């Protein structure tokens, strides 16, 4: 008795997928098609995975350049070799995959759960940061203060982009129990410029001058943070890329900043105005420098 093999059928062309033919498999539902039929079938790369048209509608686009580096432990003979088993990379990838937006109420609930589970105090426990592109202190700073009051957590550092406020005017914009550090704004530019850091007053902070930029292509400010009760040192900074600036100059300056920073103990916030979900073009190419 000769067993008749049941061949999988490629839905777009309604033809069987024969052994040895190039095929493409949806990494979500495992639907298989001929590789040459992927455009007709609507297969597309999403979050580092090839998925069919149906599955792509149910996937939230995320930026995770590390997902393709991780070995999934699969036993398929055609899997690429060299999957990364680095524990740190896996942790970073998991964080990026699990990122989600929270309402203020949900955020407060999560913060309370973390504080209770780790037995942490709300003020001096772990380093926390908050970033916002404010689109002008004059218009929105009061709203920021109200929002911070609604969040039941005293952030270690608050970063702001587009303050539209020069350093001499910083005392007009105060956040209770924080010390402010402002970068100069671009000359003759009234909007879309200015970065600042607010550091909780139980921390000691000192501006790192050689990491500060204010050009048409990049604006930045960094501080070195210490605490009298600890020997640990942390560097926190804000980087802003004006959308009309030259991205190549931005990436060159950003790369220079990264080379000056230590390998650990660094927290960078900012608005890079780069669509990291794009895989082609200058904006997409920038992600490789950002990952490094």
Residue 287: predicted pLDDT:
52
Question: Cα–Cα distances in Å, from 188 out to 161, 184, 230, 244?
Answer: 17, 12, 43, 15
| pLDDT tens-digit map of 212-229 | 999 999 999 999 999 887
Per DSSP bridges, beta strands 157-161 and 129-133 are parallel
3-state helix, strand, coil in the chain (%, to 5): 30, 25, 45
Structure tokens at 67: 């997902």
Question: Cα–Cα distances in Å, from 234 out to 52, 241, 266?
Answer: 44, 23, 6
From edge to edge, which strands make up the β-sheet containing 157-161? Answer: 129-133, 157-161, 195-200, 178-182
Residue 120: predicted pLDDT:
54
| pLDDT tens-digit map of 166-216 | 999 999 999 999 999 999 999 989 899 999 999 999 999 999 999 999 999
Name the β-bridge partners of 49.
46
pTM score above 0.85: no
**Which residues of the chain are modeled with pLDDT < 70?**
1-7, 67-85, 118-125, 276-292
Residue 82: predicted pLDDT:
47
Residue 92: predicted pLDDT:
81
Residue 211: predicted pLDDT:
97
3-state secondary structure of 137: helix
């Amino acid at each position: 008795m000769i067993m008749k093999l049941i061949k999988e059928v490629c839905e777009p062309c309604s033809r069987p997928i024969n052994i040895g033919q190039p095929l493409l498999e949806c990494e979500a539902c495992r639907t298989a098609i001929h590789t040459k039929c992927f455009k007709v079938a609507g297969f597309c790369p999403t979050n580092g995975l090839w998925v069919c048209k149906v599955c792509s509608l149910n996937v939230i686009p995320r930026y995770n350049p590390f997902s393709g580096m991780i070995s999934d432990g699969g036993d398929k003979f055609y899997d690429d070799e060299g999957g990364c088993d680095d524990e740190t990379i896996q942790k970073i990838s998991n964080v990026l995959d699990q990122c989600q937006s929270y309402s203020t109420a949900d955020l407060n609930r999560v913060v309370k759960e973390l504080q209770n589970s780790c037995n942490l105090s709300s003020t001096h426990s772990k380093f926390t940061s908050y970033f916002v592109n404010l689109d002008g202190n004059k218009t929105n700073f009061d709203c920021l203060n109200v929002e911070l009051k609604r969040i039941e957590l005293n952030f270690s550092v608050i970063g702001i982009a587009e303050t539209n406020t020069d350093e001499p005017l910083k005392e007009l914009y105060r956040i209770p129990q924080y010390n402010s550090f402002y970068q100069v704004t671009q000359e003759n530019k009234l909007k879309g410029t200015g970065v600042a850091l607010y550091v909780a007053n139980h921390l000691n902070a000192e501006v790192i001058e050689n990491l500060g930029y204010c050009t048409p292509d990049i604006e930045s400010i960094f501080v070195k943070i210490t605490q009298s009760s600890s020997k640990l040192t942390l560097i926190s900074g804000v980087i802003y890329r004006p959308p009309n600036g030259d991205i190549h100059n931005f990436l060159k300056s950003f790369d220079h900043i990264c080379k000056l920073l230590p390998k650990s103990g660094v927290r960078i916030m900012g608005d890079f105005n780069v669509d990291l979900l794009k895989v082609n073009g200058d904006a997409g190419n920038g992600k490789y420098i950002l990952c490094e």
